[in-house]
Amino acid sequence: GVRVNAILPAQVLNPGLQERIEETPEVLNTFLSGIPAGRLGNPDDIKGLSVLLASDAASWITGALIPMDGGNTALNAGGSYPGSPQVSG
């Protein structure tokens, strides 16, 4: 059987993102304002889930889309995000 799952990382520090932050420093605060964990991710944050999904321990996990975003998805679950227009009812 084939299992297909996806890890959905948010801003994970890598050379390209580091370069962008150096070119436009204010982008870091924009990113951090939407991450309840208060920091960017790093490749080691993703490693554990990758190993799990590749292991027999995940044999019953298939079709999963798993966000790894420091809480960004949970923060925005109501449809708002930092800087978004407020919806009035």
Domain residue spans of the chain: 11-74
DSSP letter at 36 equals T
Percent over 90 (pLDDT), the chain: 76
Q: How much is the average pLDDT of 40-50?
A: 95
| Lookup result for tokens 């870091």 | 28
Asked if the model's pLDDT at residue 48 lies above 70, the reply is yes
Backbone dihedral region for residue 38 (phi beyond 0: left; psi -120 to 50: alpha; all else: beta): left
pLDDT in tens, 14-44: 999 999 999 999 999 999 998 999 999 999 9
**CB-CB contact of 66 with 49 (8 Å):** yes
